[in-house]
Amino acid sequence: MHRRTFLAATGLTATLTATLTALTTRAATADTPRGLVRSLDELRDAIARAVPGTVITVADGTYDVPAGAPIAITGKRGSRGAPIVVRAESAGGVVLTGEQSFVPTGSSDITISGFAFRQRTTLDVPPDCRRIRLSRNDFQLADLEGLHWVMVRADESTVDRNDFHGKSTLGIYLGVEGAGTDQMARGVHITRNYFRDHTFPGDNGGEPIRLGVSPRALSTAGAVVELNLFERANGDPEAISVKSSGNTIRHNTIRDSFGGIVLRHGNRNRVEGNYLLSGENGIRIYGDDHLVVNNYVERISGAGVVLGSGNVRDHYPGEPAASRRGNDAPDRVRIALNTVLDCEAAIIGESHRTLPPLGCAVTDNLLMADSGQLVNMPFQDGITWSGNLHWGQAADGNAPAAGFTRVDPRLAAGSDGVRRLAPGSPAINAASRAYPDVDVDLDGHHRTGRADVGADEYSARRPAYRPLTAADVGPHAR
């Protein structure tokens, strides 16, 4: 009531203010798209004059950014509904070479879109920024030993529909960190990106995505990594390396890659509905209170799922650096409703560290193979098993007899190659327990009543999610 009264009393003033604001915004954006920025000096000038809603379009071409004179975005603030947009005339049509490109500081609600980055130093999004979006860009920075290509340290940033490719040396494609030495940026969203063709031959240090580092393990990041495609991601055993807490990793596809999904440090992460296909590493787990659910793991030359062991029981604030780098033995981890097919082993543990998992549960997973063994868990006392379904010529291994049933699950391959439950499958409505925090299955279908065993809840409807292809991700994706 008070707001309506105020508006009635000041209607003429409000109308005049809105009109002036609209005219100012139109004037600020008048140079684009009708006109194009055609030099670095023009670009710098356009950025300096930008206000919320400004769209700056850079003409296609190659621009060499001089050392010591980057494209600064300093103290510029768009708004949530009207970001400042700096975009290429066409996706990939503006090539930025030189030492640096864009250097944002003290800015928020900025979108950088459509550029081909070929610079020689890291593109850094610092913690004094907020809501920075990197969208529809092509990243192939200089192939320098140890160079990380993109580092995001600003809260609520978005990295979407980019193509990261062509690195053969030590260094990561995309990192997320935060302020200081032990904090994480919060609320980062990484989606619809294409991570491919990392050929670094070492066994560590070439991750496509790294969410944190060991000193930041206990910081709650709340990142969402979803609908990304990884192909020939061979620079590290960890395609998605999680070293922080409270993240969600869902609906990604990792295909023909050395790397898998690894919860290396941190707690309370959720790994859900991912496809890991024809690679070398599956899902590996350390830390506490994770949920690993609805994943489809097929033809992995190693183990589909590894529930690790530890040389430390729990990480804690202020612990020595050497301890923080250690492996935290899993506590209260749930591995449930996953489908693991034709891997060297389906679910295994580790014995080369002395601290076993505690309070963990392996329940209602569908495990099938015609060679090797399905389960090899050296530490049994800290694990509860129930409702798992085994099939194929592979040995059951040391899975407790009360924890599984050996029966043909009656799978049928769809047009996408994914093997789902056929009508009459004994997996239907056969889960051993309830899952109130798991609403949908691998395909995005609702789990109703008693859940079906494995990642698929039987349905005649079309899947909402399928394994991703190159057409689903990158600069030209929807």
pLDDT confidence of residue 28: 38
pLDDT of residue 332 exceeding 60: yes
Please state, in angstroms and rounded to a whole number, the distance separating the CA atoms of residues 270 and 224.
Answer: 10
Query: To the nearest whole number, what is the mean pLDDT of the chain?
Result: 93
CA distance 93 to 141: 16
Residue 269 has pLDDT above 60, yes or no: yes
Query: What percent of the chain is predicted at pLDDT more than 70?
Result: 93
Taking the CA atoms of residue 212, residue 217, residue 218 and residue 224 in that order, the dihedral angle to the nearest 10 degrees is 40
Tens-place pLDDT, residues 88-113 = 999 999 999 999 999 999 999 999 99
Reduce the DSSP state of residue 41 to 3 states and report it.
helix
268 within 8 A of 315, measured Cβ to Cβ: no
Among 88-92, 203-207, 302-306, the range scoring the smallest mean pLDDT is 203-207
**Whether the Cβ atoms of residue 109 and residue 131 lie closer than 8 Å to each other:** yes
Tens-place pLDDT, residues 394-452? 999 999 999 999 999 999 999 999 999 999 999 999 999 999 999 999 999 999 999 99
Strand partners, 291: 270, 334
Which range has the worst mean pLDDT, 2-16, 236-250, 353-367, 378-392?
Answer: 2-16
Reported as a pLDDT band with limits 50, 70 and 90, residue 35 is confident
- Name the residue among 397, 377, 399 with its Cα closest to residue 388: 399
Give 99's contacts (C-beta < 8 A, 6+ positions apart): 65, 66, 67, 68, 70, 119, 120, 121
Instruction: Cite the beta strand spans of 317-434 per DSSP E.
Output: 334-336, 339-341, 345-349, 360-363, 366-368, 373-376, 383-386, 388-391, 404-406, 411-413, 419-421
350 vs 382: CA distance, rounded Å: 13
Helices (H) then strands (E): counts for the chain: 4, 41
- What percent of the chain is helix, strand and coil (3-state, nearest 5)? 10, 35, 55
Q: At the topology level of CATH, where does 122-472 sit?
A: Pectate Lyase C-like (2.160.20)
Residue 59 one-letter amino acid: A
> For the chain, how many residues are written?
478
Question: Residue 272, SS3?
Answer: strand
pLDDT of residue 203: 86
Listed by start position, the domains of the chain span 1-26, 122-472
What residue has token string 């889960």?
431
More confident residue, 5 or 265: 265
